[in-house]
Each structure stands twice: as structure tokens, then as C-alpha cells.
Amino acid sequence: MSTKSKCLYAFKDLECEVGIDEAGRGPVLGPMVYGCCFWPLSVRDEMKKTYGFTDSKQLSEADRDRLFADINSINHSQLGYFVSILHSEYLSNTMLAEFDNGGKNLNKISHDTAIELINRVKDAGIIVRKVILDTVGQPEKYVGILRAALKDPSIEIVVESKADFNHPVVSAASICAKVTRDQVLRDWQYPEKKQIDSEFGCGYPGDPKAKQWLKRNFDPVFGFPTLVRFSWKTCSTILEDNKANVEWFDPVVQPQNLGASDGKKQKTLGFGKTVAQKDADDLQKVSQKERENNRGLKNMKVKRNFQI
């Protein structure tokens, strides 16, 4: 049985457009959520007129919730939508991993997620004729990436700035993404076995409430709760300034022809600072030590690998 014959959508025989947008790209905590909405090309103007879809950032929380309820009420009959939730732990691990071990930057993560959503729509039996996305990086380059990945010349690809404002189907996708992200944050259950509050404001790096929350819930050994994106600069700064001092021994394999009796040496590595190291001279020494250790790690080709 073909995928199309399994299609659950009433408009499965009509050519459709797909809109994709994200919520939570910039915050230092919580997931980044991608939303994908699709409907027949022929109802574009009707959807805009009937429901008033617009960029989720221009809407109040109450209006977003109302429109998301509208979307759910006509799901499968007049439109369809999917969301992809990329949690902080995944983002941190992927962005900090080596590129040859599955590491990606945020743009690459975004591109791959959008491609996965488009393919998911196609796999659902929808006839995709147009895809519209808010740009991530240079629009022309993004179009090329999508074209190469989709391998379908029948699909028109539109990538532009403010697509979530200019195209109703992208507006609807942005609403799905934003409401879903807000719901995840409201319902978040901390897996850490300690009391952690949720007074983190909007979660953006420049938000004073978010900064105070990060400092308040920081552990000098284990870092931040899993809600936090370790790879963000705000977090790395707090880590550098407050982490505990740790030293360990790492065996370094040397070529046999260098005269070493067993071909191995011990190298002491470390990072961080002790609580007692407060004055500027000691801090400077610690920073110098960290730079030496980083050079040592690079020379030894030690990789910081993460399992996703």
C-alpha cells in the first residue's frame, strides 16, 4: 500500500504549500522548537482572512493560544501541522561535539530540522508544491541546501527574511512553534534531584532574571540543570568564572623512537580555579594554565565527544 493511500488529510489530492518557522533560537535555556504548517495553495487567502494568522511575535499569549486552538480544530480537514522539539541537552551536546563525531553548529541544526519536517509532510502523502521558510544564514545558500537535500525540482522554494510576517502559512507555523515551546517550559519537570525554581524570565541571555537564575542554579562541579544550553556564551562565561578546580592525569603515547622506555608519559591536566584564588595575580596564573592545557589537549588530539 502506498504512503499516499494512508493519508489522513482531507485535502490529500490538492497541491499544497508548506511553511516552516522556529521559536526559541536565541534563549539560553529551554528547547528550540520548529513548527511546520501546510494547506492547499488554493486556500491561502482564505486562511489569512478567516483566522488572521500573523507572526507569533506580534501576538499576545492569549491570541497565540486562541489561534493554536483554531489550528487544532481544523487539523486534518483544512490544514496540517507538525512540530519538532530540540531540547537544550541535544543542542548543547551537538554544538559542543567534534564535527567528525556528529557535531553541528546552530545553522546546520536548523537546516537539517527543516529538511526533516518537509520530508515528513511528503511522507504523510501530501503533494508539496511550495515551501516557504524564514531565512537562516544567507537566503541563496539556504535555497541551495534545501534543493540539494529534497532532490525534487517540482517544489518551489522560497527563503526570505520576515517570512513569518509575509506568508500566512509560515505565520501559522510560527504560532505552532511558539505555543509548543511555551507549553514545554510551563510543564518542565527538572530531572535533577534538587530544588530548582522556574523564575528565569524570558530566558534570553540579556534578561537580568535569566542571568540571576543561571547564577542561582549553577553548580561548580556539574554546571547547570539540563534545561540550560551549556554551549551559549552566557553559560560558558559563568562556568569559566565559577567552576571548581579539577586536575587529572592523562597518559600520552609517545613514538618509540624518541627513547622513552615504555613509550608513555604522564601529563597533568586541569581546569577551573579554587575558591581561594581570588586576587588578580592568581586569576591570571589560572588563565595561563588553562591556555597551556588547551594547547596540550589540541596537540594530543584529545576530542571532547558526546553521545547524542
Residues belonging to the binding site are 21-22, 134
For residue 283, the Cα-to-chain-centroid distance in whole angstroms is 33
Question: What distance in Å separates the CA atoms of residue 245 and residue 242, rounded to the nearest whole number?
Answer: 9
Separation between Cα atoms, residue 67 and residue 179, nearest integer Å: 10
Task: Give dist(CA 1, CA 105) in Å, integer.
Answer: 39
Please state the residue numbers annotated as binding site for a divalent metal cation: 21-22, 134
* Closest CA relative to residue 224, chosen from 203, 196, 204, 199: 196
C-alpha span between 20 and 218 (Å, rounded): 35
Query: Look-up: residue for cell 529538511?
Result: 115
CA distance 178 to 96: 26
DSSP SS3 for 57: helix
